[in-house]
Every structure is written in C-alpha cells, then in structure tokens.
A and B are shown apart, each in its own frame.
Chain A
Amino acid sequence: MSSVISVKDVSKVYDSGFQALRGVNLDIRRGEIFALLGPNGAGKTTLISIICGIVNATAGQIHAGAFNIVSDYRRARQLIGLVPQELSTDGFESVWATVTFSRGLFGKPKNDAYLEQILRQLSLWDKKDERIMALSGGMKRRVMIAKALSHEPEILFLDEPTAGVDVELRRDMWQMVHGLRERGVTIILTTHYIEEAEEMADRIGVIRRGEIVLVEEKNRLMEKLGQKQLRLQLQQPLSELPADLGGYPLSLTDDGHELVYHYDSQSEHTGIAELFRHLEMHGIDYKDLHSTQRSLEEIFVSLVADSDQSSAAVEVEQ
C-alpha cells in the first residue's frame, strides 16, 4: 500500500530548548486509520502540527501525497484537514458562515450541496444558522470536524477528537470516521481513549518522549503482545492450589470459585492441555471456561512502562 504521508528524520526543538521530537520516521498508508498513542507531552500534537504547517520542524522532511510540505505547501495542504485538540471556534459566527469560510480558505469553489451533506452527516444541518457560541461542547466539536472536511481533504488529522464528548457522540464520531475511511480518506488520530484506537485503528503507533517506539498493525500488535487468560469456573471452591500445580502461572480468585491461567497465545506450547490433565488427576472439575485477551490499554501501558525502564537503564549507565 502506498504512503500518503512520509515523515523522515523529523526533529523539533522549541525556543525554550525542549526537544519535542527526535528523528521521527513514520509512513502513513493511503486509506488507513492510524492511531498515534502516547502519554501527555510525548510529541503527538507537535508532529501533527508540523505536518499541517502550524509548527516549523527543526530538521527532517515530510511529504503529503507526493508534495513536500515546505517547498510545495499549497498542494500538500490542500490534501489535509485538521481537527485540533482545542475547541477553537469563531463563537460569533454561524455554523454555515464558518464552514463556508474554511472551504474558501483551502482554495475550493463554492459548493453549498457538499457543505449541506457534511452538516447533515454531522447532525448540524438544523443548527446551520445558529451562532457557534450557542452550541454545546459536543456540537462545537462537530463544527470543527465539518470545517476540516469542508474542502474535501484526502487526509484527516483528528487530534483528540472525542475529548470531553459524551458516549453517544463518541459512537457517532466513530461511525463517521469509518464512513470517511470507506470513501478513501486517510485518518490519523491521536487519542487518550485507548478503546477508541482499539475500536477504529488499522495500525497503531506509539510515541514517547519524541520518539516512535512502535508501529504495528493493531491486530498483530494485540496478537503479538496480547497475553491471554483462561478462566475456569470451578464446580467446588478450592481453599488452595494443589502443590504440584505450583509450577503453573495459576491463581485462585472469587473466593476459590475461579481458577485463572495466564498464557501466551503466540507460544507453540501454551500448556493448556497439560493443565487440563493435571486438573483431572486432582479431580478438580469445572462448570464453565472462557479465555480473555489483554486489552490495548494494558499493552500500551506496558509498552510505555518498558520504554521508561529502558530509558532509566540508559540514564543509569550514562
């Protein structure tokens, strides 16, 4: 699949001396939903801001489509729509006026039918003549998305799109994002809601302290890093585990009614069959069983924690 955004060796040092990005390399594939995850201050917004032209990079090259974002910024920027993290709107303007302005600003001729379609999709059509300041936070967020889509971008950046948005609206937005992807729009989103990335993303990138720590297909990432748990609901509760089961990664929960076995789903030898034979030998009977996988949130936390530990180790060595 071809790259629609190519980031090569991009660094950013702010005037304060703070290094926000350190030699970032990243390729975003055309038509995918890419989730960029990272703790606060990791460099997510700086990277997006550089690609969109709001912040200047200290070093490196970025292409959007086939266009360099500095030397061919007009054509590069026409491809991009941005929904920033902050709710920044022209409060005194009407919804219609602000989306019309955005379309013109990005060099597109008037197209009221298209703007109507966008506003209808975002449930904003009946609010089109209202001043933005009179809208709720969620509605303002929709207005910002409408503005970003007003010039028919091929690439859409959503920086924390559902921050402060209620569950219903969040679900609506997820639906809208999937709809956009079906129309061929490439979507790059940053989010604090890991479930959002889990729900929507095709690929996931993790950034920490200005460095890309990992880029992986979401499903492969979850398979690769996803430890599984096998939960057995016991017929009779156990007060303690038989001694010869001590070698297994087993634990008793729910007052001895549940036995939890941790295993790696990618391993050739999961040990499940052996465990079942041992349980049978000890006459431990179960009435139900199910397996669960680690959530993306747990994976993300462990990735960031691992990265923290390795950084700390490097700092100690230095």
Chain B
Amino acid sequence: MNFHAVRAIYLFEMNRAWRTLLQSIASPVISTSLYFVVFGSAIGSKMVAIDGISYGAFIIPGLVMLALLTESISNAAFGIFFPKYNGTIYELLSAPVALPEILLGYVGAAASKSIIIGLIMLATARLFVDYSIAHPFWMLGFLVLTAVTFSLFGFIIGVWADGFEKLQIVPMLIVTPLAFLGGSFYSISMLPPLWQTITLANPVVYLISGFRWSFYDVADVNVGVSLGMTVFFLLLCLALITWMFRSGYRLKQ
C-alpha cells in the first residue's frame, strides 16, 4: 500500500476545500440553515407533529441527508473530474498507485468534507430547533456510510463526465428530486398506499429512514433494510469503479 500517495491525494483535496471555504463549507451550511429557519422555526411551529415529533425536528435528518448526498457527490465528482479536465490526470495514471489508494485519497477526502458539513449542520440546526439523538453511534454510522457510498457514486460521475454539464446532470436532475421525494420533508406513511409502494423504489428513502431512526427511533422502513440497501449500493459503486479502472473507461486509451 502506497500510504504516501493516499496522504498526498487526501491532503491535496482537503486543502482545496480549506482554500475555498466559503464555497465548500459555508455555502451548503448556510443554504440548509435557511430550511431550518423557514420550515423548522417559522412554518414548522404551525404544522402538526409527525409520529409524535415536532415538524421542525422531523425534517432535520432528511435535510442533513439531502445535503450529505449532494455534497458527497459533487465533492468526489469534482475531485476526479478536475484532473481530467485540466490534463493533470497523467500524473495519477503514471504514478505507482492502485485503485484502493486512489479511492482512499479522493473518496476519503470527499466523504470527510461532507461529514464535516453534516456535523456543522446538525450543530447549526440546534440553534433553531430542539431535537434529540436516540442512537448517536448509529447516527454517526449512517452519516459515514452514506457519505462514503455517495462519494463513491460521485467518483463514478466524475470519471464518466466529459464536461461540466454532465457533472451537474445527475446531482441536479436525479439525486435532488429523489431526496425531496424520499421523505426529507414527510413520512412516506402520509402518502396514499400506491405511492407508498412506488416510493420504496427510491433508494434515498432507505437512507433517510435509517438516519431518522437513529434520531427519533421511528422509521418508514425497517432499519436493517435501510442498512442493507445502503451497503448494497456501496458495493455496486465499488464494482462499477473497479470495472472503470480495469477497463480504463474514460481514463486511459
């Protein structure tokens, strides 16, 4: 294992985040905090409780998960796309590094950034909404697992994308709608039966449900199923990335 390379890639990516602190960390935290203010404090106080949880507190896990997904994807996608875009990918391809080291560096950094953002959001939410965490260990577990899984997914998008438009298409047109329709703002038990069944095809439902369970001990789907689906998606991403590197897809000629 080339640990020097892992460290070099990880620090390089993290330094990019510190250098662009406003864009990388402050911006997502502030925009999500607006949801806490509007839906948590202002409108939330007029809404009925869901499963005995105040609306403001109910939406916190969903909003954190929404930010975690989008940040993980965009951080990892940009991390590998940018060297392809500016041509410096030659250095990575000619270096004595294997896929696990590349992933530990790029995906590790992307996941670290989104976990930091998630934790800052949770701290910020506390300023506006009163909430509790029933299972802190599982909360952290879901946070890390989701960040890693969607950073892997973002890495795939970064390798696949051959332009900035493609880099944005999947997060904007697929991930954000799925997160909004995956129970960020409501419990899927509030939907008509047919839509409840259809919603179960949305993988984000399992992430939000599991994460919300770690906060309030209530879930739309069994927490074991949530965990299993997340791990399944992680393994799927790993398999796809392995294929991409072995075949040289959009990396090597």
Contact = CB atoms under 8 A, between A and B. Distances in A.
Interface in B1-43: 2, 4-5, 7-9, 11-12, 15-16, 19
A92 B19 contact: yes
B2 A107 contact: yes
Q: Classify chain B's interface size.
A: 20 to 34
Interface stretch (A30-38, A52-60, A168-176): A52-60
B252 A56 contact: yes
B96 interface: yes
A105 B5 contact: yes
A248 interface: no
Contacts of B83: 90
A91 interface: yes
Contacts of B5: 104-107
B87 A80 contact: no
Nearest to A14: B253
Interface stretch (A95-103, A214-222, A304-312): A95-103
B96 A77 contact: yes
Interface in A36-94: 49, 52-56, 73-78, 80, 82, 84, 86, 88-93
B91 A53 contact: no
B17 to A, nearest CB: 12
B12 A101 contact: yes
Given A56-B248, A56-B252, A92-B19, A82 B90 contact: yes
Nearest to B5: A105
A90 B94 contact: no
B194 interface: no
A107 B88 contact: no
B19 A74 contact: no
A102 B248 CA distance: 22
Nearest to B82: A90
A77 B11 CA distance: 22
B91 A109 contact: no
24 contacts: A52-B90, A53-B93, A54-B90, A56-B248, A56-B253, A73-B96, A78-B96, A80-B94, A82-B91, A84-B90, A89-B86, A89-B88, A90-B86, A100-B8, A101-B12, A102-B91, A103-B8, A104-B7, A104-B11, A105-B95, A107-B97, A108-B4, A109-B4, A147-B91
Q: Which 4 A-B pairs have the closest CB atoms?
A: A104-B8, A88-B87, A74-B96, A77-B96
Interface of A: 14-15, 49, 52-56, 73-78, 80, 82, 84, 86, 88-93, 97, 100-109, 147
